Amino acid sequence: MKIDTIALHAGYQPGNGQPHVLPIYQSTTYDYDSSEHIGKLFDLSVDGHMYSRISNPTVACVEEKIAALEGGVGALCTSSGQMACMIALLNILSAGDHFISAAAIYGGTINLFAVTLKRLGIECSFVDENASDEEVEALFRPNTKAVFGETLANPALAVFDIERFARLAHRHGVPLIVDNTFATPVLCRPFDFGADIVVHSTTKYMDGHAVQVGGAVVDSGNFPWDNGNFPGLTEADESYHGVRYVHDFGKKAYIVKARVQLMRDFGAYPHALSAFLLNLGLETLPLRMERHCKNALEAAKFLESHEKVEFVNYPGLEKDRYHALQQKYLPNGCAGVVSFSLRGGRERAVRFIDSLQLASNVVHVADIRTLVLHPASSTHRQLTDEQLAGAGITPGLIRLSVGCEDLSDILADLEQALAKA
Ligand SMILES: *Cc1c(COP(=O)(O)O)cnc(C)c1O
């Protein structure tokens, strides 16, 4: 099936007389005939739902759809994108371990990596994604367990060279984890370029309507976890009477462990209603992405040609430094987010933002409606100047999330606000 069809049909195929639309199974638990069967569920020797902190039938259908969209063997939905990043890493890293991350990533993820994971004894080295192979190689240590990057960085809009970083990670026997939130599988499927794990903030385009926060971890099933670097996946898990994930679950070892061990212990599982809403968003994801890409490219061209605009970041523009990588990784478009700076810096940026009438000034991105945000005073407020520069953010940078309205209305709004700025 092609991606538009997967978005509509994967995960839930009703049988004779069953509801046409994915039902909301609003239940904490599930009935079984015997204690013996429940015992087997706890031993992971049979499949089935037992408690909605670990799995739920509505959420499971959406997980199957997301896995199909990305071309993976399985997915785990989480209560937020942040939790997806956290679980993706903690599934394979423990205190004393180290990982490498691209510097141009979402501000919240930088905090998670640089502050909270550090408190747990896990160290992260940030690297400019334009660094040479040698510079990246120099960051690997004997305890390095993963490499992380965003397909299309929020909000720097740097395109991550997935194939190159996958090659570097694999040379050191560790997986590449890619946050594919902005690209979505409609525009890029990181597994096709060698990524091993994909994470999402489903809060963004996947949901697309700004109705709920959520995340997902997707497993390609391709990484050889039995290469000696990941004992947690090959040795007996005492909390499951000696289950050995690679031995017992093969290609799904990573995603099964993430669910039955970490989700069991953290309990950051989405509600059935959230999954139902996410599913509605996923159904129209390919349609919406087409419009977001088209509108954003035109908005970027308009801004690029305006005399008050200092620079525009949008890899779809021919002059953009990431244009060549965009042609390789995002040939059908690079989503709806454009970042740009006005001549005159922060003050003019704020005047411009406050003059917009159609675009909403909100702390969100990738909504069906056009949104605008000033990262330096909001999402990236906690970062040091050095971290800001690393994430590609200047004090006057404006993040515009171009929606699905009629293009002429979006351009008219930008034009009138620029006149007042
Ligand atoms: C928003 C975002 C996150 C965090 O997701 P939440 O759903 O807000 O927790 C992670 N990565 C990227 C690229 C994001 O845009």
Residue extents of the structural domains in the chain: 3-280, 286-420
Is 43 a residue whose pLDDT tops 90? no
Tens of pLDDT, residue by residue over 142-168, are 999 999 999 999 888 999 999 999 999
Question: What is residue 240's predicted lDDT score, i.e. its pLDDT?
Answer: 87
- Ligand 1: does its nearest atom lie under 6 Å from the Cβ of 219? no
Q: Which residue's CA is the nearest one to ligand 1's atom 4?
A: 81
Instruction: Evaluate: CB of 367 within 6 angstroms of ligand 1.
Output: no
> Is the confidence at residue 135, as pLDDT, over 80?
yes
Ligand 1 near 215 CB (within 6 A):
yes
| Per CATH, domain 286-420 is 3.90.1150.10 | yes
Q: Is the CB of 150 under 6 A from ligand 1?
A: yes
Residue whose C-alpha is closest to residue 104's, from 163, 157, 140: 157
**How is residue 197 annotated by DSSP?**
E
Residue 319: exposure state from Cβ atoms within 10 A (0-12, 13-18, ≥19): exposed
89 CA distance to ligand 1 middle (Å):
15
Instruction: State the pLDDT at residue 386.
Output: 80
Task: Please give the pLDDT value at position 155.
Answer: 83
Tell me whether domains 3-280 and 286-420 share a fold. no
Please determine, for residue 373, whether its predicted confidence score (pLDDT) is greater than 80. yes
Q: What pLDDT, on a 0 to 100 scale, did the predictor assign at position 341?
A: 93
The 10 Å Cβ neighbour count of residue 101 is: 25
For residue 157, the Cα-to-chain-centroid distance in whole angstroms is 14
At 352, give phi and psi (nearest 5°).
Answer: -60, -50
How would residue 184 be classed by pLDDT, with cut points 50, 70 and 90? very high
Q: How confident is the model at residue 379 (pLDDT cuts 50, 70, 90)?
A: confident
N- to C-terminal Cα distance for the chain? 48
Ligand 1 atom 7: residue of nearest CA: 81
b/e code 337-364 from CB counts within 10 Å (16+ = b): bbbbbbeeebebbbebbebbebbbeeee
Which atom from ligand 1 is nearest to the alpha carbon of 150?
13
Q: pLDDT confidence of 388, banded at 50, 70, 90?
A: confident
Chain Cα centroid distance, residue 212? 15
- Residue 378 is predicted with a pLDDT of 82
- Count other C-beta atoms under 10 Å from residue 35's C-beta: 8
Cβ atoms of residues 83 and 263 within 8 Å: no
Interval between CA 363 and ligand 1 midpoint (Å): 11
**What would the CATH number be for the domain defined by 3-280?**
3.40.640.10
Instruction: Return the residue whose CA atom lies nearest to atom 1 of ligand 1.
Output: 201
Percent of the chain, pLDDT > 90? 89
pLDDT at 214: 98
Find the DSSP H helices in 178-284.
184-187, 231-234, 245-249, 253-257, 264-266, 272-283
Q: How confident is the model at residue 389 (pLDDT cuts 50, 70, 90)?
A: confident
Instruction: Report residue 105 as tokens.
Output: 């990533």
Rounded to whole angstroms, the Cα distance separating 390 from 377 reads 16
Ligand 1 neighbour 296 (Cβ under 6 A): no
pLDDT band of residue 413 (cuts 50, 70, 90) is: very high
CB–CB of 365/401 below 8 Å? yes
The answer, yes or no, to whether residue 114 has pLDDT greater than 80, is yes
Ligand 1 within 6 A of CB of 181? yes
Within its chain, how far is the Cα of 317 from the centroid?
A: 23
